Amino acid sequence: MEYKGYFAKVEFDDEANIFHGEIINLRDVITFEGETVAELRKAFHDSVEDYLEFCTERGEDPEKPYSGKFIVRVDPELHKTIAIQARKNGKSLNAWVNETLQKNIKDLSS
């Protein structure tokens, strides 16, 4: 599920006969539940709105779901190899990694 850039993972509890979800792209823990898909979706939207309202009340910016930056630690030999490949292709390391990741995501989606 997605709402305003926030994504949720949903599971069904067969014993309790209820859906429960959690927003997965925040450090804060935000959960919600519902007995039907419609209730679940409303609870998810309400949880996001409550989070945004809470941030406003505290004078804080809501956590951005993704900044576009992440740090990856790799073996030094792999670092050297991808840096060389990037240079061979006339690209920065960031541009090469970005392009390679996008290509691989498209391959996974196919």
Output the pLDDT for position 28: 86
Output the pLDDT for position 57: 95
Report how far residue 23's alpha carbon sits from residue 88's, in angstroms, rounded to the nearest whole number: 41
Element housing 32 (H / E): strand 31-34
Mean pLDDT value across residues 72-77: 94
Confidence of residue 67 (pLDDT cuts 50, 70, 90): confident
pTM of the model: 0.64
Residue 110 has pLDDT above 80, yes or no: no
Residue ranges covered by each domain of the chain: 2-58, 76-109
Report how far residue 44's alpha carbon sits from residue 51's, in angstroms, rounded to the nearest whole number: 11
Output the pLDDT for position 1: 93
Report how far residue 12's alpha carbon sits from residue 35's, in angstroms, rounded to the nearest whole number: 9
Which residue bears the tokens 């809501």?
Answer: 62
